[in-house]
Amino acid sequence: MFDPAAAEDEIRTRGYTLLPGFLDAEWLTRVRAALDRELGAYRGRNNFEGEATERVYTLVARDPVFQDIVEDTRVLALCDRFLDPNYLLTGSLAICIHPGESPQPWHNDDAFYPLPRPRPMVSLSTMVAVDDFTADNGATEMIPGSHLWSEADIGGDYRSGERETDPDFAERMAGLGIGIEMPAGTCLVFAGNLLHRGGANRTDQPRRGFSIQYCQPWARTQENYFLTVPQQQARTMSARLQALLGYSIHPPFMGHAAGRHPRKYLLGED
Ligand SMILES: O=C(O)CCC(=O)C(=O)O
Could you state, in order of their start, the residue ranges of all structural domains in the chain? Answer: 4-227, 230-270
Distance 264 CA to ligand 1 centre (A): 36
207 lines ligand 1 (CB under 6 A): no
109 lines ligand 1 (CB under 6 A): yes
Q: Whose CA is nearest to atom 1 of ligand 1?
A: 198
Question: Tell me, what's the pLDDT at 173?
Answer: 86
Question: Tell me, what's the pLDDT at 164?
Answer: 54
Question: Tell me, what's the pLDDT at 158?
Answer: 60
Contact yes or no for 172/79 (Cβ under 8 A): no
Instruction: Return d(Cα 43, Cα 55) in angstroms, integer.
Output: 7
For the entire predicted model, the pTM comes to 0.96
Q: Which atom of ligand 1 is nearest to the CA of 50?
A: 9
Question: Tell me, what's the pLDDT at 163?
Answer: 45
Q: Which helix (H) or strand (E) holds 196?
A: strand 196-197
Contact yes or no for 37/74 (Cβ under 8 A): no
Mean pLDDT, each 10-residue run in order, the chain (270 residues): 97 98 98 96 82 95 98 98 98 97 92 94 98 98 97 72 60 90 98 96 98 98 98 98 98 97 95
Question: Tell me, what's the pLDDT at 139?
Answer: 98
What's the farthest any 2 CA atoms get from each other in the chain?
59
Is the CATH number 2.60.120.620 carried by domain 4-227?
yes
